[in-house]
Amino acid sequence: MRADAQRNYDLIVEAASEAVARDGAYASLEEIARSAGVGSATLHRHFPSRWSLLQAVFRTCLRNLSARTDELLAESDALAALTTWLHEVTAYATTTRGLAVTLLNAPPEEDDTCGAMLAAAGEKLLRRAIDQGSVRSDVAMADLISLVNAISLAAQPTGTTKAERLLALALTGIQPPGR
């Protein structure tokens, strides 16, 4: 990418990040372009769909959440590590308005790189917890991501306190009986 194209890309993603934080995932694309100091055509040249722009916005934070798994894999208690990571994902999904809806309703023609990145990162933590016997063997990462998304949707008006409480209740259900 040429330097000016990269600069425009970065400006658009920065403006979109601010707009999504303020207005949610359905922030005005025209307002994002205007805030970035580019035309609508430039925005659409870099991001042909709203989904592709949201992917770029969410990718950085999701990379951080994915990288966090490496730190958590060093913990001796696999269930505690998985639980910590799921709480962090829930907090992010709840405070980033629209993330849950966006990940749950990805257009079929779009590559779900954010969801796949998140699932791949969490899979390591889940496998370890299953291997330690602290999580039921029939629990899948797709189930946990759906659960986190549903909780963040349910908690949207009130925020992270409700989401944290709901997640704690739900995590009890993934543990084997008698644990």
pLDDT in tens, 53-99: 988 888 767 777 888 998 999 999 999 999 999 998 888 777 666 65
Which amino acid would we find at residue 62? L
For residues 16 and 42, the answer to whether their CB atoms sit within 8 Å is: no
For residues 102 and 58, the answer to whether their CB atoms sit within 8 Å is: yes
The span from the CA of 8 to the CA of 104, in Å, is 29
Average pLDDT in the 124-129 region? 96
Burial 114-123 (b: 16+ CB within 10 A, else e): bbebbbebbe
Angle in degrees, 0-180, between the axes of helices 113-131 and 50-73, rounded to the nearest 10: 20
The span from the CA of 131 to the CA of 135, in Å, is 8
Q: Which two tokens stand for residue 98?
A: 């629209």
pLDDT value for 55: 82
The span from the CA of 90 to the CA of 101, in Å, is 13
For residues 175 and 134, the answer to whether their CB atoms sit within 8 Å is: yes
Percent of the chain scoring above 90 in pLDDT: 41
For residues 35 and 18, the answer to whether their CB atoms sit within 8 Å is: yes
pTM score > 0.85 for this model?
Answer: no
pLDDT value for 9: 95
